[in-house]
Chains A and B, each alone.
Chain A
C-alpha cells in the first residue's frame, strides 16, 4: 500500500474514484438483480397459471381489444399453448410441457441471479477495501507497511529439485524398465513397483542369478538321471531324458508361477553339481556364485572360433556357428553330467577346451562327435539354431553353458555325449513345446550380449510375456532365419539385457 516514508501511489482522489466505480458496479448489479427478480416472478406467475389452466375445461375471461377495450369471452382449449421459442417462432404444446419450458427458463434466470449476486458481493467487498484504503491514505500515520524481503535461495529450491533429475542416466533407466515391464509383466509381478533404482538393480541381479540357477537346475536333474543311465552307451538317450525332464520341470515351474522361486530352491539343492567338481549340497553358496561368474558371455565369444577350427579339422566340416555352439554346450553338459561319475580335468576353461577334452578323452574314436553333428545337421539343416530340434538342444545348452562358464564343470564323459546325439534325433519334438514355457535361461546369452548393442531397439519389442524374449531377439539379429526363436527364448535373462541396454 502506501509506504509511510515514500510518496503513496494512492492519492485520495484516485481512491475515491475507484470506490465510486465499484459502487457503480454494485448499483448496476442491484438493478439487474431487481430486473431478473421481476422476470422470475413473472415466470412464477405464468407457471402457476399454466399449472392450473388445464384444471377447467373453459374459463370466462375478458378478451382484450387493444390496450383499453375488452369484451367478455371464453377461454377454451385450455391445454393448448403456443410457446414463443424466440425469433417469432412458436411451438404448440400442452400446458404441462409449457410448464416444463418455463421451469427451464427459470433455471436460467436463477443462474443469472446467482451470478449477479456474486458479482455484487465481490464488488461490495472491493468497495469496503477501497474505503479502508481511503482511510489509510487519509490518516497515513496509523498504518505502517511491514515489508520483509525474501531471499531468493528459498525460492530456488524448486529449481534445484528439478535439476536433480539428470536427463542422461536415470530417465533412461526408468524408460527402459517401463518398456520391459509390460512385455514381461506376467513373469515378474514383483518387478512392477520398484521405487528406487538401487532396489531395481538388486532385484535384477537376483533374478539373473535365479535364472542362472535355473539353467543349472535344468541340467542337473538331467545329469542325475543320466548318471543312472550312464551305463547305457548312447548319448542321445540321455539327451532325450534330459529334455523330457526339463519339459516336465518347466511345466511345473510355470504352474508354480514365475518359476523363479522354484528354481531358486532347486538351485540350492543342485548347486554343487553345477560346479562339477563338487556336487554336494554344502557347496550351494559357492555354486551360486560360480553360476554368476559362469554366465559371462566373454567365454562364448572366445569359444566360437576354436570350436570352428576344431570341428572342421576333426570330423564335422559343415557345422555352423550355432550348431557348433550347441554342440559345445552339449558336450559341456555331458561333461558336467558325467562329472559326477568321473570328476574330470579342471583344464577346461573355455568351451573350446571342453571340446578338445571331449574329443580326446572321452572317445578316441570321435564317434560321439559324428553322431552329434549328424543329428544337428539333420535337425538344423533348414535353419541352424532356430529349427525345432534346436529347442531341445536349447535346454541342454542352457545347462551346458552355465556349467561351461563355471569352468569347474569340465568333467566330460564321452558316453553321455553319444547318448544325447542319438536320442535327440528321436525325441526332439517334446523339447520344443517346453522351452518357451520353461523359465530356464540358455547359455546363448553370451552371444546375445555381443549383439545387443547392435540392435538395442529389438529388446523393447518383445511383447510376449516370456522373460526370455530379449534373447530371442538377439538370436534373430545373429541369425535371420530364426523361426523357432520363440522356442529358443530365454537365452539371456531379460534383466541382463535391459541392463546391458542401459549401459550401452
Chain B
C-alpha cells in the first residue's frame, strides 16, 4: 500500500498539470478570440509558423472561426476532465 499512494499522487499531479495547462490554453484562446473579434475589418492578421519566426498572412474571419473551434474543443476537454473528477469524488 505504501507504493500506491505516491504513484496516485504522481498521476494526480500530472493530471493537475494537464488541467492547468488546459485552463491556461483556454484563457489564451479566449483572449485570441476576443482580440480577433474586436479587430477592424481592414486589419491584417498574421499567424506564426510553429517552431519558426515567420508569420504568414491569414484571413481574419477564417482565423477567428478556427480559434473559436479550438476554444470549444478545449472547453470540452476541460469539462470532461472535471466530470471525471467529480465522478471519482462521488465514488
Query: A residues near B, CB below 8 A?
Result: 19, 23, 27, 41-42, 45-46, 49, 59-64, 67, 70, 75, 127-128, 130-131, 134-135, 138
Contacts and interface: CB of A to CB of B under 8 A. Distances in A.
A134 B3 contact: yes
Contact of B49 (A27, A49, A63, A138): A49
Nearest to A135: B1
Given A19-B3, A62-B57, A75-B54, 9 more contacts: A42-B50, A45-B50, A49-B49, A59-B56, A60-B57, A61-B55, A64-B55, A135-B2, A138-B2
Contacts of A42: 50-51
B86 interface: no
A27 B3 CA distance: 15
**B interface majority secondary structure:** loop
A128 B8 CA distance: 12
B56 A61 contact: yes
A483 B54 CA distance: 91
A49 B56 CA distance: 11
Contacts of B1: 135
Which of A60, A62, A64, A134 gathers most chain B CB within 10 Å?
A62
Contact of B3 (A41, A46, A130): A130
Contacts of B84: none
A262 B44 CA distance: 102
A476 B55 CA distance: 94
Contacts of B4: 131
Chain B interface size, under 10 / 10 to 19 / 20 to 34 / 35 or more:
10 to 19
B17 to A, nearest CB: 11
A64 B48 CA distance: 11
A268 B2 CA distance: 91
Contacts of B46: 61-62
A19 B44 CA distance: 56
Contact of A59 (B2, B10, B44, B57): B57
A130 B53 CA distance: 48
B7 interface: yes
A131 B56 CA distance: 53
Contact of B51 (A46, A61, A62, A138): A46
Contact of B54 (A23, A41, A63, A134): A63
A34 to B, nearest CB: 10
A27 B10 CA distance: 10
Given A45-B49, A61-B46, A127 B2 contact: no
Nearest to A66: B53
B3 A61 contact: no
A63 B46 CA distance: 11
B69 to A, nearest CB: 17
A144 to B, nearest CB: 20
Contact of B2 (A23, A67, A70, A131): A131
A19 B51 CA distance: 38
3 tightest A-B CB contacts, nearest first: A131-B3, A62-B55, A60-B57
Nearest to B3: A131
Contacts of A127: 3, 7
Nearest to A132: B3
B53 A67 contact: yes
A27 B14 CA distance: 11
Interface string B1-35: 11110010010000000000000000000000000
Contacts of A131: 2-4
B55 A70 contact: yes
Which of A63, A127, A131 gathers most chain B CB within 10 Å?
A131
Nearest to A74: B57
A27 B7 CA distance: 11
Which of B3, B46, B49, B51 gathers most chain A CB within 10 Å?
B3
A232 B62 CA distance: 120
A62 B57 CA distance: 8
Nearest to A70: B55
Contacts of B2: 131, 134-135, 138
A135 B50 CA distance: 48
Nearest to B49: A49
A135 B57 contact: no
A117 to B, nearest CB: 16
Contacts of A59: 56-57
B91 to A, nearest CB: 22
A469 to B, nearest CB: 77
Contacts of B53: 64, 67
A498 to B, nearest CB: 71
Contacts of B54: 61-64, 75
A395 to B, nearest CB: 92
A49 B51 CA distance: 12
Contacts of A135: 1-3
B39 to A, nearest CB: 16
